[in-house]
Amino acid sequence: MNLCGFEVGIDKPLFLIAGPCVIESEQLAIDTAGQLKEMTDALGMPFIFKSSYDKANRSSTKSFRGLGIEEGLRILQKVKDEVGVPVLTDVHEDTPLEEVASVVDVMQTPAFLVRQTNFIQNVCRQGLPVNIKKGQFQAPWDMDQVVAKAREVGNEQIMVCDRGTSFGYNTLISDMRGLASMRSTGCPVVFDATHSVQQPGGQGTTSGGQREMVPVLARAAIAAGISGVFMETHPDPANALSDGPNMWPLGKLMPLLETMKRLDDVVKTQGFIENELL
């Protein structure tokens, strides 16, 4: 699959989707995107900047949701123009999809909305690549039917993304077998390394997280065989306005990316013998 000018797939080099959870300010978006571009350019790693103009799925109505669509899209356009990277943002059921599609390069659908047929198909009708997150309540093979719905409207640029599976109260677990199972969709498989360590609603009015486990899961997912990694990062996660407990510190990202790239090179050089049995 061609994604923003580069080829992605189980036999292609690892790509990265990364950025702050939500757009907090123009300066944060520009600075973070610039640093991420420098890192990924140095590694020869394809990169898409991610940040949300609106976070609809907050634990509390008092939580920061973003700067709104007009200001958010303006900032994403500026990131594209000044930093020179493609951009991705989340969309929701009430999103003016055509307006968002006029700015962003990739759309992402939230995990909780994965079974909303009209929503999934309307997003895919925009003709952009779509990263569809597997619901925390779904089995990996349930994504076969989600992808079938998406392709019915003529969009073949579909990715499937795992962000963990509900495992008791306020807890997610990542089953690495599921990443291989989702290859049956025929789509590039992306692993969300930061939301997978989230503890949804774990702090009452906000979600908790175990950011120290981000490298553990990222390494394991790459060893299992994936096309890309989704990772939210922030220069100061402790003071981030959304998802701070599970975001990875920007200042510690380069060594992790280096490890991820080396692992990906080794795994993909050897190939995936399990594909003969899947």
Domain boundaries, the chain: 17-55+65-271
162-66-81 Cα angle (round to 5): 85
The predicted-structure confidence for 18-38, as pLDDT tens digits, reads as follows 999 999 999 999 999 999 999
Specify the DSSP class assigned to residue 52: B
Residue 275: per-residue pLDDT: 85
For residue 207, name the pLDDT band (cuts at 50, 70, 90): low
Q: Is 104 exposed, middle or buried (0-12, 13-18, 19+ CB in 10 A)?
A: buried
Q: State residue 199's pLDDT score.
A: 86
Write the CATH number of the domain with boundaries 17-55+65-271. 3.20.20.70
Give strand pairing partners of 189. 160
Residue 208 confidence (pLDDT): 74
Query: Cα separation of 32 and 51, whole Å?
Result: 10
Tell me how long the chain is: 278
Q: Say how far apart CA 4 and CA 105 lie, in whole Å.
A: 7
**Amino acid letter, residue 84:** G
Question: What's the pLDDT tens digit per position in 99-150?
Answer: 999 999 999 999 999 999 999 999 999 999 999 999 999 999 999 999 999 9
Residue 63 has pLDDT above 90, yes or no: no
Please check whether residue 24 is in contact with residue 239, taking contact to mean a CB–CB distance below 8 angstroms: no
pTM higher than 0.85: yes
Q: What is the pLDDT of residue 73?
A: 97
Q: Which one has a higher pLDDT value, 60 or 201?
A: 201
User: Torsion angle of alpha carbons 255, 257, 260, 262, nearest 10°?
Assistant: -70
Q: Would you say residue 206 has pLDDT above 70? A: no
Residue 52: is its pLDDT beyond 90?
Answer: yes
- pLDDT number for residue 202: 58
Query: What pLDDT was estimated at residue 203?
Result: 66
Q: What are the Cα distances from residue 162, in Å, to 66, 130, 131, 202?
A: 24, 14, 10, 20
Residue 278: pLDDT band with limits 50, 70, 90: confident
Q: Which two tokens stand for residue 198?
A: 């989230």
